[in-house]
Amino acid sequence: MKKYIALFLLVITTLIANAKTTKILFVGNSYIYVNDLPKTIKDLAISKGDSISYTTQAIGGATAQSLWNTPAVISSIAQGGWDYVVLQCQSQEPAFPPSQVASDTYPFVKKLDSLVQATNSCAETLFFMTWGRKNGDAANAAFYPIIGTYDGMQGRLRESYLMFAQDFTASVVPVGVAWKNVRAQYPTIELYNADESHPSIYGTYLAACVFYSSIFHKAATGASFITTGISTTDATSLQNIASNTVLDSLDNWQQYGNLPFANYSKTSTNKTAVFNNLSKHFTASFWDFGDGQTSNLMNPTHNYFSDGNYTVCLTATNACGKQEKFCNPLSIITTPNALNEIEVENAYFIQNGNLVTFKNLNGAIQFQVISMNGEIVKRGIVKNETTLSLYNLHGVYIIQLMHLSKPIKIVLP
């Protein structure tokens, strides 16, 4: 057993040593240093085979203005060499009325971000979208009632942080949105400290998972690092919520920034596949067609030599060398001739797009349409000259006629 443990540790150590270290500066207040959020992110990343180094400038109760007026903060930003600079405002100020945010917060957020860009040309500003207080901001509800509830306060925080990202060409780490999702789906998980504002260890672990997925564009699910005191079941729930919140809407949270967003669409006919690059914020493309062949073209056409199932990956790279990879499966199945007409024992089968016609059947025949994972998605009776409409299906399916021993494989567009 000791031999296998040593081997496992060696593999993990080697992976970490070979991984690029991502450098992060955290600027904010107690929501960062309570439970040591940066270290939690680092430990989580290590357990997933990734590496970060970080510096923290977090001052209790600090506003955007006081952060701007703190020499240590300015010095750390100006140091340069950062891959990401995290900016977090005081927990209440972005939730205040838009006019107050515009006068008291916005100008100093702009100054901080401008310094990031001036001294770190390839750094990405990440706005740390925090969470609404457990029962809203009771202290300020009298003058601005909307923030007197959790939902109202959370809504204003979301609006302000997305506005900052849009105006300052930056990205958002949607911790507040993941927080709301956990409250809705797992109400027994207590994300708050006793003060109903600061995070519990669960809240900090959730935030770390959101940061991990936002930075590395990978799911936090499966991370072996779990904060002491959190059960494996609860950790898995938090990992899943964080990953889904970020990755299901990645283009939303990073639409205004400079991080590459990889995506493509595809069409295929017989052994020829045509790819349409839908990536954003990128300067270079690298295609891996899954058959040992690659391409640097923007929108390549690729010919496969044989039928089969392939995984096609597109890596989008921006001018600063940041990358994102997007992969999708592709099934290559050659139809025998241009008419898509196949003779199967006594029957003839003709496919025209999503219409499938049977001819020369002897009487009424039962059929079923089966997906590649074995699920029966359609069944019924066909007769001579029967046409099936399969417009709701896409991909590879098997049609089984009950009196025939040989199934029919089709590809639906």
Only one residue has tokens 């991080």, namely 259
On whether both 37 and 186 belong to a single domain, the answer is yes
On whether both 31 and 116 belong to a single domain, the answer is yes
Lowest mean pLDDT among 52-61, 108-117, 374-383: 374-383
Domain boundary pick from 253, 279, 310: 253
Query: Which residues are paired to 369 by β-bridges?
Result: 378, 399
258 is a domain residue: no
Judged against a pLDDT cut of 80, whether residue 382 lies above it is answered with no
Q: What angle (nearest 5°) sits at the alpha carbon of residue 97, between those of residues 96 and 98?
A: 115
pLDDT of 350 reads 75
Highest mean pLDDT among 87-96, 302-311, 326-335: 87-96
End-to-end alpha carbon distance in the chain:
51
Q: Chain-wide mean pLDDT for the chain?
A: 88
33 is a domain residue: yes
On whether both 15 and 150 belong to a single domain, the answer is yes
pLDDT, average across residues 296-308: 92
pLDDT of 348 reads 63
On whether both 378 and 239 belong to a single domain, the answer is no
On whether both 321 and 206 belong to a single domain, the answer is no
Residues in the chain: 413
Only one residue has tokens 């955290």, namely 26
- Please indicate whether residue 91 or residue 345 has the higher confidence score (pLDDT): 91
pLDDT in tens, 154-164: 999 999 999 99
What band does 338 get if pLDDT is binned at 50, 70 and 90?
very low
On whether both 276 and 307 belong to a single domain, the answer is yes
pLDDT of 400 reads 77
259 is a domain residue: no
What band does 218 get if pLDDT is binned at 50, 70 and 90?
very high
Full residue range of the structural domain in which residue 289 is found: 264-332
- Structurally, the chain folds into a number of domains equal to 3
pLDDT, average across residues 8-26: 64
For residues 383 and 364, the answer to whether their CB atoms sit within 8 Å is yes
What CATH number should be reported for the domain holding residue 404? Answer: 2.60.40.3080
pLDDT of 361 reads 67
What CATH number should be reported for the domain holding residue 316? Answer: 2.60.40.10
Judged against a pLDDT cut of 50, whether residue 342 lies above it is answered with no
Q: What is the CA radius of gyration of the chain?
A: 27
Judged against a pLDDT cut of 60, whether residue 340 lies above it is answered with no
Only one residue has tokens 């007026």, namely 69
DSSP 394: -
pLDDT in tens, 164-201: 999 999 999 999 999 999 999 999 999 999 999 999 99
Lowest mean pLDDT among 91-100, 156-165, 347-356: 347-356
What band does 371 get if pLDDT is binned at 50, 70 and 90?
confident
On whether both 269 and 392 belong to a single domain, the answer is no
- Please indicate whether residue 311 or residue 365 has the higher confidence score (pLDDT): 311
Q: For 181, phi and psi rounded to 5 degrees?
A: -65, -40
Domain boundary pick from 213, 230, 253: 253
pLDDT of 43 reads 98
pLDDT of 347 reads 56
Lowest mean pLDDT among 61-70, 151-160, 193-202, 344-353: 344-353
Rounded CA gap, 150 and 132, in Å?
A: 5
On whether both 7 and 75 belong to a single domain, the answer is yes
- Using a 10 angstrom Cβ sphere, with 0-12 exposed, 13-18 middle and 19 or more buried, the burial of residue 66 is middle
On whether both 152 and 15 belong to a single domain, the answer is yes
Which amino acid is residue 126, in one-letter code? L
- Please indicate whether residue 269 or residue 298 has the higher confidence score (pLDDT): 298
Domain boundary pick from 332, 363, 391: 332
| Percent residues over pLDDT 70 in the chain | 89
pLDDT of 2 reads 46
What CATH number should be reported for the domain holding residue 184? Answer: 3.40.50.1110
On whether both 174 and 142 belong to a single domain, the answer is yes
On whether both 90 and 237 belong to a single domain, the answer is yes
On whether both 180 and 70 belong to a single domain, the answer is yes
pLDDT of 12 reads 45
pLDDT of 335 reads 55
Structure tokens at 177: 């949105």
235 is a domain residue: yes
Lowest mean pLDDT among 111-115, 171-175, 263-267, 339-343: 339-343
